[in-house]
Chains A and B, each alone.
Chain A
Amino acid sequence: MMKNIPLSALIGLFITGLYFFVAIFAQWIAPFGMAEVVGDVWEPASAEHLLGTDNIGRDLLTRMIYGGQTTIFIATMGTILSFVTGSSLGFLAAVLGGWADQLLSRLVDLLMAIPSLIMALVILAMVPVTVPVLILVMGLLDATRVFRLARSVAVDINVMEYVEAASLRGEGRLWVIFREILPNALSPLVAELGLRFIFMVLFISTLSFLGLGVQPPLADWGGIVKENKDGIVYGIGAGLYPAVAIATLAISVNLVADWILNRTTSLKGGRG
């Protein structure tokens, strides 16, 4: 099985794995403390500070590593929340059908009719901005997209003979959802997982950049841009490192997702 992985997917897997590894072990990898002031303002890159220092003299590499930890943690939790709510409600709507399906689907239509960023801003104007609140808001807003995908996949599966056989056998709805629909709907959902994760990374970075996401002194990639944006006009590129980090992470996750999608569509859900 490992032999058939194309080079692009391998590179994607490697870089994605590297980012997650650094994020998990940030405390041991980072050369300095997260909020420790260790030098002058915006020092250029040197042997001691590989990426230089930031707007108040903290080591930028350290900030980037801890920033990656926060960003990846929030994005991962948001993705999990959006998948659990989105797919379970989506499967439920497909299996139940009738008015329950109508109610959920129209509610999702309504939520998707308003841009998520605008919706998030309206909510964040009312509640205190903390990490759990951010995860909850982003995860639930994004669950609408997962709901649509999960429902449309499950509706197709729900009319298959084996599902009918299971219900004729007298299995309950939970059995049908978890033992019949879930295994067959897993492949498209896993491919979508990567895209949703990237969307979460972009979303949380944007919110932090606007000052409505992760609050200082906690570091995150969007926040690093916000802190160092004044230097850009003077030709100091400290605020641009997150662009490299976000772009490489996004592209490598995309490469993996593409591979999973290709593999599953060519095999029609079989095992490769």
Chain B
Amino acid sequence: MHPIIKLVAQRFSLGILLLVAASVLIFGLTEALPGDAAQAVLGQAATAESLANLREEMGLNRPATTRYFEWFGGIITGDLGTSIVNRLDIAESVGKRLGNTLFLAFWAALVSVPLAIFLGLLAVRYRNRWPDKLISGVTLTTISIPEFLIGYVLVYFLAVKLGFGSALAMINDSMTLFEKLQSIVLPVMVLTLVVLAHMMRMTRAAILNVMQSAYIETAELKGLSTFNVIAKHAFPNAVSPIVNVVMLNLAYLVVGVVVVEVVFVYPGMGQFLVDAVTKRDVPVVLACGVIFAAIYIGLNMLADIISILANPRLRHPK
């Protein structure tokens, strides 16, 4: 078998294994910790008898392994169970919200990825001079402030003081694409700022690493301009690490979305998860947790597979 296919298959099966293990871990945690769904519904003041009745009704008396396989089988077939707070089908509520979350993350990625690579190249081009120092300073500051505070700082200075964008990002199906984009301007900006910093710093480091190779010195010595050295010699060799950086940050984006959605009251998965945790709606928390973990693990797996494919040394087996 071709070594690339073998490597990709190995990484793929590792990803699936990790996903199953993560679901066991998340389910196991809710089992191992004190309190269960019945306790959560009835609260601390519940009598032992009513607790036992509800446990019987919800099927919590059966062994944990049986319930795990039922639950996991349900997830694979698209049945996420029902919420214990409002008795609604979770899959239905999740469906629309997941779409909204991915919509937000997609636009944030579309803005931040090209911008981060461009700024990373710029920082390398003017290394240790003022553009590099300025970019490093600004990114260091955005890394040092939590996402939700960046959100409120932007709301305060842009939305309230300058009247740009809106403090609440409401979207619904009757809006046109343009209206939707208009209402998510600020959340997209926040997410961009958050991942931009990480992505740009990692891009800069990846390119600088390549710049120290001997062939770059050769290119410089034969008289190429700095820009040509970066664009023609350094960049192609830095593609694999950069792709890796981008995918890792997209995975990070999916988590950053949780907090940003709460700030802008955006009807997505993050808001849904936080609400469920506050109400101790265990089935919803489990479902959301597994979905977030799956997206995160999936993107990490994709990052590894792409960097395997992008590595020219693996393309020509001896």
Question: Which residue numbers of A lie inside 8 Å of B, CB to CB?
Answer: 109-111, 113-115, 117-119, 121-127, 198, 202, 205-206, 209-212, 222, 225, 229, 232-235, 237, 239-240, 242-243, 246-247, 250-251, 254
Whole-angstrom distance from the CB of B299 to the nearest CB of chain A? 11
- Give the CA-CA distance A125 to B146 in the complex, in Å: 22
Give the residue of A115, A121, A225, A247 whose beta carbon is less than 8 angstroms from that of B274: A121
Contacts of B259 in A (CB 8 A): 117, 206, 209-210
Q: How far is the CB of A209 from the nearest CB of chain B, in Å? A: 5
9 A-B pairs, CB-CB below 8 angstroms? A111-B25, A113-B293, A122-B29, A122-B277, A205-B146, A206-B259, A222-B148, A225-B152, A247-B141
B152 touches A126 (CB 8 A): no
- Asked if A211 contacts B293 (CB within 8 A), the reply is no
Q: Cβ of B33 and Cβ of A127 under 8 Å apart?
A: yes
The smallest C-beta distance from B9 to any residue of chain A, in angstroms, reads 19
Q: CA separation between A96 and B141, bound complex, in Å?
A: 41
Q: How far is the CB of A243 from chain B (nearest CB, A)?
A: 4
CB of A212 to closest CB in B, whole Å: 6
The stretch among B65-73, B99-107, B154-162 that forms the contact with chain A is B154-162
List 10 A-B pairs, minimum CB-CB distance, nearest first: A250-B144, A126-B33, A243-B149, A115-B255, A125-B285, A125-B277, A122-B289, A114-B293, A118-B292, A202-B146
Contact B155 A212 (CB under 8 A): no
Q: Quick one: which of A124, A125, A210, A239 contacts B152, CB cutoff 8 A?
A: A239
**Distance of A239 Cα from B153 Cα, bound (Å):** 9
- Given contact pairs A117-B259, A232-B167, a sample of 11 additional A-B residue pairs in the complex whose CB atoms are under 8 Å apart: A113-B293, A114-B297, A121-B273, A121-B274, A125-B40, A126-B34, A127-B33, A210-B259, A233-B167, A243-B153, A251-B140
In contact, B152 and A240 (Cβ under 8 angstroms): yes
Chain B: interface residue total (CB-CB under 8 A):
52
Chain B residues within an 8 Å CB radius of A111: 25
Min CB distance B238 to A, Å, is 23
Task: Please tell me if the beta carbons of B33 and A251 are within 8 angstroms of each other in the complex.
Answer: no
B97 smallest CB distance to A (angstroms): 15
| Shortest Cβ gap from B64 to chain A (Å) | 14
- The interface residues of chain B lying within 8 Å CB-to-CB of A110 are 18, 21-22, 25
Least CB distance from A16 to B in Å reads 13
User: Does the CB pair A232–B155 fall under 8 Å?
Assistant: yes
Q: Cβ of A212 and Cβ of B293 under 8 Å apart?
A: no
Is B35 located at the chain interface by the 8 A CB criterion?
yes
B148 x A225 contact (CB < 8 A):
yes
B240 to chain A, nearest CB (A): 22
Cβ of B280: which chain A residues have Cβ within 8 Å of it?
125-126
Interface: B212 (CB within 8 A): no
> How far does the alpha carbon of A254 sit from the alpha carbon of B143 in the complex, in Å?
11
At the interface, yes or no: B171 with Cβ under 8 Å from chain A? no
Whether the Cβ atoms of A122 and B285 lie closer than 8 Å is yes
Contact among B149, B150, B285 with A121 in the assembled complex (CB-CB below 8 Å): B285
**Known contacts A210-B274, A212-B274, A232-B152, A251 near B144 by CB under 8 Å:** yes
A125 & B144 in contact (Cβ 8 Å cutoff)? no
Q: Are B293 and A118 in contact (CB under 8 A)?
A: yes
